[in-house]
Amino acid sequence: MKHLISTLILIVCGICYTQFAFCDTIPTKGEWSEQDFRSVVPAPPTASIEGKVLTINFVTPLTDLTVKVTNNETGQVVYEECISVSTPQSHSVVLNADNGNYTLSFTHVLGYLTGEFVIK
């Protein structure tokens, strides 16, 4: 039984490791405020890019997060969506975009975060 449990733990850790090992984390900066918020403040989302697949990771439930991806050279918005999640999860999107530099923007009642990434 102990062998089975430890094997399952290793498999789960291996799956999680490969998810993060082959993608580029998108560093974000901005403000995520706790001011005037009366309950537990949801953690800010994180994002990663692998090829043209953008993955947004939610550690806590979050409602009405606007996600926008803009081409830095043309200013064209290539993706925009308002996302709500009720459980910690990942939300993946295939971007219909050419190779180049892009800006990711998260906008929420709690603040905003932006980060830049490259599609190769």
Instruction: Report how far residue 62's alpha carbon sits from residue 27's, in angstroms, rounded to the nearest whole number.
Output: 19
Instruction: Report how far residue 85's alpha carbon sits from residue 87's, in angstroms, rounded to the nearest whole number.
Output: 6
Per-residue pLDDT at 18: 43
If pLDDT is split at 50, 70 and 90, which confidence band does 34 have? low
Model confidence at 31: pLDDT above 60: yes
Domains and CATH numbers, the chain: 25-119 (2.60.40.3080)
If DSSP codes are grouped into helix, strand and coil, which group holds residue 56? strand
pTM for this structure? 0.77
